[in-house]
Amino acid sequence: MTGGPWFSALEIAHRTRGRLRLRYRCRTGTPTAPKAIERALENLPGVTGARVNQAARSLVLDFADDETGVERLVECIAGLTLPAISDRTAAPPAGGAKPLVTSLATLLGTRYLPPSAQFPMTLSAAAPVFKHAFDDYLENGVSSHVLEALAVSISLARRDYTAANTTTFMLALGEYLEDSIARRSDDLLKHLLRPASDEVWVVRQGQEVLIAAEDVVVGDTVVVGSGTVVPVDGTVLGGEATVNQAAMTGESVAVNKARGDAVLSGTVVEEGRLSVYAEQVGRNTAAARIADYVEQSLTAKSEAQLSACRQADRLVPTVLGLAGLAYLVSGDWARAASVLQADYSCALKLATPVAFKSAMYGAGRSGILIKGASTLERLAEADTFIFDKTGTLTAGRLAVTDSIAFDNAYSAEDLICLAASVEEHYFHPLALAVVAAARATHGQHFDHQEVQFIVAHGVASVIDGKRIVVGSRHFIEDDEGIDIGAHTEVVDRLYREGKTLLYIGYGGALLGVIALKDEVRANSAAMIRRLRGLGARRILLLTGDHRDRAEEMASALGLDGFHAELLPEDKARIVEELSSKGARIAFVGDGINDAPALAGAHVGIAMKKGADIARLTADVALLEDDIECVADAKELADSAMSRIGTNYRLTVGLNTAILAAAALGVLSPITTAMLHNGSTIAILLNALRRKRKRAR
């Protein structure tokens, strides 16, 4: 096919200085081979590097921003046409099990053929090895694939067809298993991106019909009921429901949604039913942004991966020189062929990314989304952990701490039960905390008339003929005209302690106040101890809360220090100051005000119920509302880096031993091929191992 554009669709997914990531779709009939696309992109003006993730349909380009810009690049890519592509690059890669089956059949059957047919049959089976080596030589020079082709050529020249066919089969088997393992690690990661439901109810021609989620288009009316995850970003056309938006906005309390309100994908309808006009669907929804991070992680390389690749490339000339030396010393071409097969490249280049992806998948299954291999490296390096307070070390959930009645006819328990009696149908966090406290006291329930809800103020009702009001100070003082002057000393003390106050007025007088406070998570202290055991040298608290409250928490949890009454820019400044002194900081937060610190830290970790901007800014997003996942993430990162180090040592040790034995003539080409490919596969399988999830 000639003429016309190569790509039918291009969409900017992410852009930074000197780096651009695009989603693409090739026009029908055009080449889809990653190498073909990469070569074409690398020829564009200003492009310094290009990588293609075919499974994710993602292009990543590095470019010199003083030579070209994003808009110009996108324009050039959109204008790519087929005549610029050579036949070699346009050809789709041979893959699958076909080369493996062919090489096995040749290995088993060649000996039964007439001598005149054995050479062409062996050469035909080895053709993919030679083609791969030729393509790789043109692109990268002398590589491991070139060494393998030389080994097969020597066996053919010696008419040792058994050795040539065995080598070809072992290479095909190794490549097939290596590709399968690498593809499995990608597939495991992508498993995390599956939507909550593959099917969605939409209104078509006045009828509700169930269609595939991928078939929803902008303009559809999507119907979502209780317990359903909203699959699109859009506006409510009809219905009313309470929607839990914690996953996207960090709001811990479900909000009411009705006609005209906006809803986000990934939020959950707790009660009710909504008809939603779809404005963003599929990959364009807010929830799909997390999928973007995972896709990007499949193409981004960590420093460990780059180092392994550089080391493997540097060792290729050494192997080639050793093969030549072995022949000069022994005069035996078989010995040279053995040496050529014992290269380091496959295990070094594949084991590291497979280990990273396996660890990232294991993290996802444990409730931790790690946005790239480099994040794992940085988390393993972290020696200083800094925590926000509210919603991080604390649960972001209020609990009653004080109940003070100003009328001797009522006890503290009576005050709680009285407030709970009128609050029990109100789903505000304060109301839920008071009701929970009343249930714990097992006190009486006060009969009351119909409850009146006053938005943003409180509730009111009548008990025993007297008006009871429960709510804010403004509601009690300004709206209800109840004087609290006689009790300001108590009120001010509770405020200084950082507590939230609920005022109860009864019969026109202030009956009492209930104080509430955010609870420290039950496992915060255990998590801190685990971090110390994992090598954290310093653990700090940064908060905008009162100094006394911060000091109390730091002391209770055994932290190394704290900074209180901070503004968002103060948190970022402290992180920057500590980083400049050499600290490798992991910052853990959840709010919009934490985003600058999350972005400036060595690695940022966002809580599950964190604000959307915090989760977008962070390198690690917790998928479970469990602070101990922070220690899990650190332990997993340490384990992954330890396994990568072990694999590196195994690769170098085993291949060096095989190489030495081959050079000394101890191993035949057949034995070398089997040992080399077998050890490579074993190392890759070890890379796929994951640490077991901590029992909860």
With contact defined as beta carbons under 8 Å apart, do 128 and 134 qualify? no
Using one digit for the tens of pLDDT, what is the confidence trace for 80-131? Answer: 875 433 333 333 334 456 777 887 888 788 888 888 888 888 888 888 878 8
Residue 458 lies inside a defined structural domain of this protein? yes
CATH number reported for the structural domain that contains residue 263 in this entry: 2.70.150.10
Which residues are within 8 A (CB) of 106 and not within 5 positions of it... i.e. 6 or more apart?
Answer: 121, 122, 124, 125, 165, 168, 169
The total number of structural domains in the chain stands at: 3
3-state helix, strand, coil in the chain (%, to 5): 50, 20, 25
Residue 186 lies in a domain: no
pLDDT at position 411, please? 92
User: What is the arithmetic mean of pLDDT over 462-478?
Assistant: 88
pLDDT computed for residue 537 by the predictor: 94
Asked whether residue 164 is assigned to any structural domain, the reply reads no
Sign of CA dihedral 503, 504, 505, 509: negative
Mark whether 388 is an active-site residue: yes
Which of 519, 539, 574 corresponds to the end of one domain? 519
Answer with the one of 291, 312, 327 that is the final residue of a domain. Answer: 291
pLDDT tens sequence across 642-660: 888 888 888 788 878 888 8
- Span of 322-331, 425-434, 464-473, 574-583 with lowest mean pLDDT: 425-434
Query: C-alpha 292: how far from its chain's center?
Result: 9
Domain that holds residue 76: 7-90
Q: Tell me, yes or no, whether 401 and 286 share the same domain.
A: no
pTM of whole model > 0.75? no
Grade residue 479 by pLDDT with cuts at 50, 70 and 90: confident
CA distance 598 to 587: 6
Residue 504 covered by a domain:
yes
Res. 293: pLDDT tops 50? no
**Residue 312 counted as domain residue:** no
pLDDT of residue 297: 43
Does 40 reside within a domain? yes
Mark residue 507 as left, alpha or beta (left: phi above 0; alpha: psi -120 to 50; beta: remaining): left
What's residue 614's pLDDT? 62
Rounded to the nearest integer, the mean pLDDT of the chain is 78
Q: Is 429 in contact with 397 (CB distance < 8 Å)?
A: yes
Residue 691 pLDDT grade (very low, low, confident, very high; cuts 50, 70, 90): low
CATH number, position 422: 3.40.1110.10
Which of 471, 488, 519 is the last residue before a domain boundary?
519
Whether residue 68 is contained in a domain is answered as yes
pLDDT at 158 over 90: no
Asked if residue 581 is part of any domain, the answer here is no
DSSP code of 110? G
Q: Nearest CA to 85 among 14, 169, 5?
A: 5
Separation CA 168–CA 107 (nearest Å):
9
Residue 536: pLDDT band (50, 70, 90) is very high
Catalytic site residue from 313, 388, 518, 590: 388
In whole angstroms, what is the distance from residue 500 CA to residue 514 CA? 8
Q: How many CB atoms lie within 10 A of CB 428?
A: 17
Residue 238 CB contacts under 8 Å (≥ 6 apart), including other chains: 259, 274, 275
CATH number of the structural domain spanning residue 60: 3.30.70.100
**Above 80 in pLDDT, residue 386?**
yes
| Half-sphere CA count of 430, side-chain side, radius 13 A | 20
Give the separation between CA 470 and CA 421, rounded to whole angstroms: 10
Count other Cβ atoms within 10 Å, centred on residue 1: 10
